[in-house]
Structure 1
C-alpha cells in the first residue's frame, strides 16, 4: 500500500497501531461518489473508503461494536473531511 494518499495513509497507520490487523485493505472510492453530499468537487479528495480488516481485536465483538471501534479510531478523519466508510470487519477465526 505504498501508493496510499495522505488520508488513507493516516488511517492505515492509526488502524495498524490500534488493531494490529493480520489483513487490511483500504480502497479509495471517492471518485465513484463525486455527486454525493460531503464531496467538495475536488478529484481524489479522499472522502469515501471501503476497508476490509481482519484482527484478533474483533474477537468476541458483535458487528456494531466493531464498526463503532473503527469509527472512533478514525474520528479525527471524520472531523476533517472523511464522509463514509464501507467496512468488512472480522476476526481471524471467522475466516
Structure 2
C-alpha cells in the first residue's frame, strides 16, 4: 500500500524539490512499509519513496537527465536518509 506521508524526510524531499525545480505538480509517496525488514529499512518508516514530479525545466531533457536533476536537488538525503527512490519525472503536457 502506497501512502502520501508527511514525516520529516518526506517533508524535506518536498521542500528541496520545490525550491530547486519549481514543480507544477509534486507528489511524494512513502513506500517504506512495503520494504519493512528488507535491506535498507532503517526502522524509521522513511527509507523508500516514489516521487512523481512535473516541472517545466524537464522539457527537452532525457529521462536520465531528469532523474539526475531530482537526485542533485535531494543531495545528501540520497546518501544519508533515503535508501531507494523511484522517480516519475515529466514536463508539463506530457
Provide the rounded CA distance (Å) in 1 between the counterparts of 2:65 and 2:78.
Answer: 18
Q: State how 1:5-84 maps to structure 2 within 5 Å.
A: 5-40=7-42, 42=43, 44=45, 46-84=46-84
| Aligned residue pair count | 90
Segments of 5+ residues of structure 1 without an aligned counterpart are none
- Give yes or no for contact 1:24–1:53 (8 Å, CA) kept in 2: yes
Q: TM-score, normalised by structure 2?
A: 0.88
Show structure 1 runs of 4+ deviating over 2 A: none
Q: Deviations over 1:27-61 (max 9, x none)?
A: 10001011321112x251x1100111000010110
